[in-house]
Amino acid sequence: TPRSHSVQNAWSTPGSAEFDFRSDTITTPTTSMLMAIQNTTLFDDGYGEDPTTSSLEAHMAELCGHEAGVFLLSGTMGNQIALRSLLTQPPHAVLCDHRAHILCLEAGGVSMLTGAMVSGVVPSNGNYLLLEDIEKHVILSDDCHACPTKVISIENTLRGIITPLTEVQRISVFARKHGIKMHLDGARLWEVVAAGAGSLSEYGAYFDSMTLCYSKGLGAPVGSILVGSEEFIKRARWMRQAIGGTLRQAGVLTSAARNAIDVNFGVGSNGEGNVLKRTHAIAQRIAAFWLSLGGSIEHPVHTNMVWIDLKKAGVDPQRLRDVAKSKGVKLTRGRIVVHYQISDEAVDRLKDVLATVMQ
């Protein structure tokens, strides 16, 4: 039996996560996170009295260059509360990438909770939205037959691809000129920072609201943060309560999230000393190896994701999964995600898998 299948999940070891390339949500919480939980405060955050939670919210707001923050259970909850708080009265529409999480992976939540139309745009460069894409598809008209764009939502990273700070700035200038709000789905913004594309606060300067996820990349078991102005966060807390998201002894979760920030993201808005740069280097090695086998990739490798083109290679996804399983590696499709607990042995096994399916 491969070692990855025999090791149990435990605080002291990554366990099977060490060999799991399905997602960066797979990571196992660490012993230092457990220690943080053991030492946390246990006051009621519903009353705003838990210092661990309040400290985390204030810390994240400062890192992102915003006034306030609110802890939430997931990135999806963060996006939905953000959009519901930004959008107050229909008719209104949200403009985003056609592959965006808020459009494809949140169960239609925007239309369900906010009553907004979501318009997906195909980037003209194939990678990320440009101002020219926004200008082509935005609805500014007050014609009663149209649904005006009230929010532009940018996901960064999206499929591991970075939207450059310069492009975000261009879009933001346009949005502010036309009274359109800007939301950042920054579930993996940590990766953008680790790649040297900009700091949390540099990106934060161009958005009215931002969500960041502690369980993607950083390894916390649960949680996301939503940041914005004090007025915006006050409204977001109402929305959180309305959908049952207010927590009681939240320190059990926020202590682990704070540990993930301090230990894995690193110091300051630039994340100095983060553990994510190594995952980017591994992703580059995996991509280079796949290309050396005659394969091709679907997207440029900017951060911790490699999208191998199975269709062009003539590789059946089920065969990929079967071979991976036989070698003690977990894959689901052509998306390979490297997280910080992936071992060198796991990379060697993955290369063996890729070489086998390309024979």
In this structure, which topology does domain 40-265 adopt according to CATH? Aspartate Aminotransferase; domain 2 (3.40.640)
pLDDT value at 6 more than 70? no
The reported pLDDT for the residue numbered 9 is: 63
Cβ contact 338:329 at 8 Å? no
Q: Nearest 5°: phi and psi at 63?
A: -60, -35
**In terms of DSSP bridges, do strands 149-155 and 93-97 run parallel, antiparallel, or are they unpaired?**
parallel
Numbers of helices and strands, H then E, in the chain? 16, 9
The reported pLDDT for the residue numbered 15 is: 86
3-29+275-357 in CATH: which number?
Answer: 3.90.1150.10
The reported pLDDT for the residue numbered 222 is: 97
pLDDT tens sequence across 245-267:
999 999 999 999 999 999 999 99
Domain range list for the chain: 3-29+275-357, 40-265
Q: How confident is the model over 290-316, as a mean pLDDT?
A: 98
The reported pLDDT for the residue numbered 8 is: 59
pLDDT tens sequence across 145-154:
999 999 999 9
Percent of the chain scored above 90 by pLDDT?
94
Among 257, 247, 256, which Cα is nearest to 47's?
Answer: 247
Q: Nearest 5°: phi and psi at 131?
A: -55, -40
Q: How confident is the model over 52-74, as a mean pLDDT?
A: 99
* pTM of the predicted structure, to 2 decimals: 0.95
The region, left, alpha or beta by phi > 0 then psi within -120 to 50, assigned to residue 216 is beta
Could you give the CA distance from residue 263 to residue 336 in angstroms, rounded to a whole number? 24
The reported pLDDT for the residue numbered 1 is: 42
pLDDT tens sequence across 96-147:
999 999 999 999 999 999 999 999 999 999 999 999 999 999 999 999 999 9
Cβ contact 322:179 at 8 Å? no
When pLDDT is cut at 50, 70 and 90, the band that residue 10 belongs to is confident
Helix, strand, coil percentages in the chain from 3-state DSSP, rounded to 5: 45, 15, 40
pLDDT value at 81 more than 70? yes
Cβ contact 322:331 at 8 Å? no
Could you give the CA distance from residue 214 to residue 265 in angstroms, rounded to a whole number? 10
Q: How confident is the model over 347-359, as a mean pLDDT?
A: 98
pLDDT tens sequence across 196-214:
999 999 999 999 999 999 9
Could you give the CA distance from residue 58 to residue 36 in angstroms, rounded to a whole number? 18
In the structure encoding, which two tokens stand for residue 1, read together? Answer: 């039996």
C-alpha separations of 328 from 5, 319, 335 in Å: 7, 14, 17
